[in-house]
Structure 1
């Protein structure tokens, strides 16, 4: 007697029992013992339309990408021109100046345009085979270059792709199961189902954080801050303590650094803006006050000083550090201040070279981030620190300088990032954890702006679940009733295959953490209909063979043989459609495609192979004279 059916029956029994066991945490979590939950923890997750959650849409600031690119090119062209003029070791040229405005690079010569020097300096960007810049105008002694339109489009496209990948990595670091992150035209859509309010706020902070980490030298030899201090004293006056008492800069005090130039560098750099925050640990209020004062100081350097003939020197920028006031003896107090410093703008060392980061603690027990560079970043950082020992290195994260330690030795691999002075120890630890996550996932190519936020509450989810469940139950009852009524005992086999199909499908979804959405429920109903259709094709072929006079065993053999490729053709073509929907669809369409593809696989396994095993089992028990079909 043929016993091939036996191992198949055992295999299906195992899959059926295992699927039920795997699904128990989803349907009966509270009644399970502790040891059980230690082995089986995954559940069928619900999508945004069923569980509720948050729908976010972001736009990326492509203008800042272009400006940053032009700044880098401008620094490169400046270096080549200064080398051509023999001014390599000077801070600024006596022959020309370079500025960027919007999408233009402007080079102004002081006496005459040296065309030979200019052509060589811009050759890398104006090559006709791969143009990045076009010379668009010449007015007096100024030459104007505009960034190439095709290059701009390519830059923006790459930035969007990178932003989507970075956000996805950040959300994965946070541990959100099966988020939906995709592009919609020039927008980035993020759908996060099933998160509580605190988790939503945390992940929104993580997504929005540019995490643009830079290591820049504090320009300890610049005289610019002395000129600014002189202007402030003359224009606004100071009291005996050196504090300005007039608006809008009331409370701003010029304090020399306790270190001398190249011994901690930059005794001119510090402009403290006293803040009425005191020693209270109120993170939100502190941050609001820091932001308010930062805007005032930004206005000073961006608007008032340039009008007064004191623009920030070329190749330099102003950095702002949140720190605490120190006494004349260098002892820190509880008074929070913003400290401004002049930084050398161009840097080779950024967060893109960091390969690992983790939370640690400094000597005072405050949370810090310990980061490690890759080989290239380590080489750049080692060269930078080796050539500038005794200078200060500003560690700049997004718009704030987090710390500015003195370089005391060459550093090739590891760096420690402190996190300012705002917030409690717990808040700083949370910030350190978030920073570790974003550094591991990489920085965004440009800042994001949130264009839309839509919260879907649990009431919508419950309503969707109720309607989907009712539709599913009604559909199943009608299908089961028809199959048993029309195909009798064989219909019962098809119904049992249908039950195994649903169980296996849900277990697979739980295993891969695929989210069940309302369109996904429609996909399940559709695949169940296709599974029933496959059984109907088989049953009708068996009936045809019985009418030709074959015995039940031969009719079953021939019926399955004739129906197999017909079923496979329809399932394969539908699977191809599902793959296309998954690849190019978004949101709910993907949910439908996932359940469709999983359902097709389980439908073939249960509808064709499982039912055949049942027939073989019955045949092995007794010789069939008549077949109930």
Structure 2
């Protein structure tokens, strides 16, 4: 038994030194959650119906292009959102077989019937496809928001789906809440459209825009006065190209005025598409539009190969940087609205930290006094094991990069109680063995052996409960479950392994006849 000390003591020392190395300095290694350092709490709702509408419109455009490629003579193809249908109007029924055969490539489209003597084919999107589009829109929005937040530079953000179409966003330590809200909520749909020169924007505002065109605005801010004006543009509704093929977006500065702009790079397919646009619309103005706001409308003066473009506008470096982040992260599949917006001040978080630390220290002192009075020197061993338990817990939190929350502190306090409970079980067993006249060595062996099964049973059941909380809980519940799981593992090590090693060390050095255990 005593020969085991040759590997037990170095193992304990190595684990403790590793925990100290991981946890020091605590202020830098342990991340604090939203409730401890302040920050933002947002609940967003994804407008999944908009994603469905956009998908149906896109499907109608795809079918139209595919039919045109097959030389099918079309009157028009359009979508009706109310009943989730796509209408295909042919010029001659001779093209009906080819049309129905082609639409079979879209298994989510069901033929509902025909009108106009068979010239109009009506297809409806299936309910299963609509459900899939909505679920996919939420997941895409989740990933897009996560990418934006990661590039924004927030440490330990919590971003997760709640319910069918809500997303919870918690940003600890955020210092620019308004900027974060603007960045997260920006749809970031980039479009290239032709400027309609058939009439002036002022005429369009007075008389109404011609069919197939709309009036959009460019936001202009005076850098000296801060006054904001809006300049109207008459834009054709047809989108020439979107930002779906974008691969990079970076902030750069022009050589003439040192003003920021966003340089765009497209993939090979997008580069060919952009080159074709510059070739087809040479000498015309192409508006660069983000979320229905015109950023610039330059004249295409030459063909632009290489898949590169730039978004210029009268914005600051910070605005250009946020625009680049949104474009790199990708467009949201549907708009999001903010249902809940709460900001927790750092002072409240600091008060929570102080209160939590105070409660841990106070609990530790009370346990220390009780154990030393009731179990004497053996109580000192238990308190030493408890201190090591807290040290291991901090080291593990630092290693896993877990965020410490107020419920997490509650988990630490609960762990303190459970760790002491294990020592109490052992000591009571040892006292029973001493009372019936067993030697100290035999009493210690029997006490640890008999209490071990009870300790394992109690800790395993609690550990299972903590795993369930972590798996199905959200936010603060997860923080509580993480610290509880780590604390249980640490308490098993310290209360059983470390305490036993300390007793064995004393027995190996001295021939102890009596045991100071109350």
CA distance in 2, matches of 1:153, 1:271: 34
- 1:435-459 Cα offsets, whole Å, 9 max, x none, are 3433443332111111221223356
Deviation at 1:407? 7.6
Please list the CA deviations of residues 110-153 of structure 1 after superposition, one character each: whole Å capped at 9, or x if unmatched.
6769532441242223x4xxx34452674776544332222111
Query: What do the CA deviations read for 1:206-241 (whole angstroms, capped 9, x no partner)?
Result: 211222334x4648xxxx642x45xx8xxxxxxxxx
Quick check: 1:45–1:516 contact (8 Å CA) kept in 2? yes
Which is further off, 443-452 or 566-575? Answer: 566-575
Q: Which of 165, 172, 195 is matched with 1:193 structurally?
A: 172
CA distance in 1, matches of 2:335, 2:290: 13
Q: Which residue of 2 aligns with 1:33?
A: none
Change (3 A) 1:173 1:160: same
Q: Under a length normalisation based on structure 1, what TM-score does the superposition of the two structures give? A: 0.70
Q: Which residue of 1 aligns with 2:140?
A: 162
TM-score normalised over the length of structure 2:
0.83
CA positional deviation for 1:24: 6.0
CA distance in structure 2 between the partners assigned to 1:109 and 1:529 by the alignment: 77
Tell me by how many angstroms 1:78 deviates.
1.6
Structure 2 distance, partners of 1:84, 1:23, is: 67
Query: 1:98 matched to which residue of 2?
Result: 78
Q: 2:100 aligns with which of 96, 104, 119?
A: 119
Spell out, residue by residue over 1:77-127, the C-alpha distance to the aligned partner (whole angstroms, 9 max, x if none): 22233345555xxxxx4x3443443433233456769532441242223x4
Counterpart of 1:162 in 2: which secondary structure?
A: helix
Structure 1 contact 527–599 (Cα < 8 Å) conserved: yes
Deviation readout 1:475-528 (Å, 9 max, x if unpaired): 334433332233221111111111121233234324544332222122111111
- When residues 557 and 172 of structure 1 are mapped into structure 2, their CA distance, relative to the original with a 3 A threshold, is farther
The 5 Å alignment of 1:173-572 reads: 173-185=151-163, 186-196=165-175, 199-214=176-191, 216=192, 218=194, 225-226=197-198, 228=199, 249=206, 280-281=223-224, 285-286=227-228, 289-290=229-230, 337-342=231-236, 344-345=238-239, 347=241, 350-351=243-244, 353-354=246-247, 356-364=248-256, 365-373=258-266, 377-382=267-272, 384-385=274-275, 389=279, 391=281, 395-403=288-296, 404=298, 406=300, 408=302, 411-412=305-306, 415-421=308-314, 423=315, 427=316, 429-458=317-346, 460-461=348-349, 464-465=352-353, 468-469=356-357, 471-546=359-434, 550-572=438-460
Shift of 1:4: 4.4
Q: 1:170 to 1:274 in 2, by over 3 A?
A: closer
Indicate how the Cα distance of structure 1 residues 274 and 388 shifts in structure 2: closer, same or farther if over 3 A, else same. closer
> What secondary structure is seen at the aligned counterpart in 2 of 1:389?
helix
Q: 1:278 to 1:351 in 2, by over 3 A?
A: closer
Q: Is the 8 A contact 2:271 2:308 kept in 1?
A: no
State yes or no: 1:68 paired with 2:46.
Answer: no
User: Structure 1 pair 139/460, CA: closer, same or farther in 2 (3 Å)?
Assistant: farther
Structure 2, unpaired ranges of 5+: none
How far apart in 2 are the matches of 1:556 and 1:139?
95
* Aligned-residue CA RMSD (Å): 3.8
8 Å contact kept, 2:40–2:343: yes
Q: Residues 391 and 508 (structure 1 numbering): CA distance in 2 closer, same or farther, change over 3 Å?
A: same
1:382–1:508: structure 2 CA closer, same or farther, 3 Å change rule? same
Q: Distance in 2 between matches of 1:274 and 1:542?
A: 81
Q: Is the 8 A contact 1:74 1:100 kept in 2?
A: no
How far does residue 577 in structure 1 lie from its aligned partner after superposition?
Answer: 2.3
Do structure 1's residue 50 and structure 2's residue 31 form an aligned pair? Answer: no
Matched residue of 2:105: which SS? Answer: helix
| 495, 503, 516: which one aligns with 1:615 | 503
Pairwise CA distance, 1:586: 0.8
Indicate how the Cα distance of structure 1 residues 160 and 279 shifts in structure 2: closer, same or farther if over 3 A, else same: closer
CA distance in 2, matches of 1:12, 1:142: 80
Residues 257-292 of structure 1, C-alpha deviations (whole Å, 9 max, x = no match): xxxxxxxxxxxx9999899x6854455x42xx33xx
Q: Give the Cα separation in 1 of the matches to 2:313 and 2:218.
A: 16
Q: Is the 8 A contact 1:395 1:417 kept in 2?
A: no
Q: How many angstroms apart in 2 are the aligned matches of 1:488 and 1:54?
A: 49
How big is each residue's C-alpha offset from its partner over 1:368-426, in whole Å with a ceiling of 9 and x where there is no partner?
Answer: 334544xxx313423551585363665443323444463845645x63432412x3xxx
Q: Secondary structure at the match of 1:452?
A: strand
Shift in Å, 1:155? 1.0
Change (3 A) 1:278 1:54: closer
CA drift at 1:589: 0.7
Aligned equivalents of 1:99, 1:181: Cα separation in 2: 35
Answer yes or no: is the 8 Å Cα contact 2:193–2:237 preserved in 1: yes
Q: Is the 8 A contact 2:154 2:173 kept in 1?
A: no
CA distance in 2, matches of 1:513, 1:148: 44
